């Protein structure tokens, strides 16, 4: 006589098991009692994004169908347990957030929904011998950072990212693309790090694009977020004027030699100070 072993579920937090009532066995993030005491358990460390697949309205980890299953929704439900940290999943080119809710039977259920689908864009002018335009776009997807049009793309990516995060600004989530357009076609050097960073932060929503109108930037960046001085600051300012800019933001360390009265000038010492200044421009433009 053949017997069938009943399906069970197991709580990964406390180890308790109970008979399954939905036809699926395996593990869940929290059982009823653990879900009730999530505040006492405290937040969990975030986990990196994983690859997932969606089949008949259910998201599962690619290659691991026995992991927690998530019902796919159109948007984030209001009753997600914020103290339970679950991974993000990349499905094709889309990024999905996940979480846990408690159903009417006091069971923890996994749910998934598309990440923010908004696309952020910003355009910044960099003061140089022939003023360049930097375009930054932040779009949904697995975290990445593509940069073209600079002399040393890998070093510049590392330096700008370190300056932004160490300077106290959150790094944008999603797919980040930065392109540089120059009149001469020559790649930009490190004296334009500040312009690249401000384009990124504008696309990430720290200030609206209107804050960047007719503004040019010149300045390098240190790994800690300080704005570094550059050579020939006056030539850079004159190039900015020639491209139609009325305001130039320069390193504080260059201010003593600045001598271009035809343009408004603001000096900054750190990336955080620059963000505050641009937020002031944003409020004035609204």
20: confidence class by pLDDT, cuts 50, 70, 90: low
Which residues, in sequence order, are CB contacts of 177 under 8 Å at separation 6+? 136, 137, 139, 146
259, 265 in Cβ contact below 8 A? Answer: no
Helix, strand, or coil (residue 17): strand
First to last CA, the chain: 78
Alpha carbons 169 and 250: distance in angstroms, whole number: 20
Quote the percentage of the chain above a pLDDT of 70: 79
269, with CB counted inside 10 A (0-12, 13-18, 19+), is middle
Alpha carbons 212 and 217: distance in angstroms, whole number: 10
pLDDT in the model for residue 218 = 93
83 backbone φψ class: left, alpha, beta (φ>0; ψ -120 to 50):
alpha
- The CA radius of gyration of the chain, in Å to the nearest whole number, is 25
Provide the whole-model pTM. 0.64
252: confidence class by pLDDT, cuts 50, 70, 90: very high
Q: How many CB atoms lie within 10 A of CB 209?
A: 15
DSSP 176: E
- Quote the tokens at residue 173: 């989530």
Of 6-15, 77-86, 136-145, 225-234, the one with minimum mean pLDDT is 6-15
255 backbone φψ class: left, alpha, beta (φ>0; ψ -120 to 50):
alpha
pLDDT above 50: residue 280: yes
Phi, psi of 133, rounded to the nearest 5 degrees = -115, 130
Listed in order, the ranges of the chain carrying CATH 3.30.230.10 are 120-285
Of the ranges 59-63, 68-72, 220-224, the best mean pLDDT one: 220-224
71, 58 in Cβ contact below 8 A? Answer: yes
pLDDT above 70: residue 28: no
CA 101, 205, 285, 279 dihedral sign is positive
Alpha carbons 237 and 258: distance in angstroms, whole number: 9
Q: Pairing mode, if any, of strands 8-11 and 17-19?
A: antiparallel
CATH class entry, domain 120-285: alpha beta
pLDDT in the model for residue 269 = 96
Which tens digits make up the pLDDT trace of 33-45?
Answer: 554 443 333 333 4
Q: Pairing mode, if any, of strands 215-217 and 120-126?
A: parallel
């Amino acid at each position: 006589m053949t017997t069938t072993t009943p399906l069970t579920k197991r709580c990964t937090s406390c180890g308790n098991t109970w008979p399954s009532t939905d036809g699926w066995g395996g593990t869940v993030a929290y059982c009823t009692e653990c879900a009730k005491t999530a505040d006492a358990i405290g937040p969990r460390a975030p986990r990196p994004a994983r690859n997932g697949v969606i089949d008949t309205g259910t998201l599962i980890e690619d290659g691991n169908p026995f992991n927690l299953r998530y019902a796919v929704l159109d948007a984030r439900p209001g009753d997600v347990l914020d103290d339970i940290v679950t991974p993000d999943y990349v499905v094709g080119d889309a990024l999905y957030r996940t979480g846990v809710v408690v159903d009417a039977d006091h069971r923890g259920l996994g749910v998934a929904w598309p990440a923010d689908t908004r696309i952020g864009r910003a355009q910044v002018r960099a003061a140089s011998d022939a003023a360049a335009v930097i375009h930054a776009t932040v779009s949904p997807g697995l975290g990445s950072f593509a940069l073209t049009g600079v002399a040393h793309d890998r070093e510049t990516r590392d330096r700008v990212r370190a300056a932004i995060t160490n300077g106290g600004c959150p790094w944008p989530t999603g797919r980040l693309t930065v392109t540089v357009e120059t009149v001469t076609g020559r790649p930009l050097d490190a004296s334009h790090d500040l312009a690249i960073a401000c384009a990124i932060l504008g696309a990430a929503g720290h200030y609206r694009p209107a804050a960047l109108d007719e503004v040019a930037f010149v300045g390098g960046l240190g790994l800690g977020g300080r704005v570094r001085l550059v050579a020939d600051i006056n030539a850079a300012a004159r190039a900015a004027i020639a491209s139609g800019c009325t305001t130039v933001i320069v390193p504080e360390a260059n201010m003593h030699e600045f001598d271009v009265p035809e343009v408004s000038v603001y000096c900054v010492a750190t990336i955080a100070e620059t963000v505050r200044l641009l937020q002031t421009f944003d409020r004035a433009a609204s």
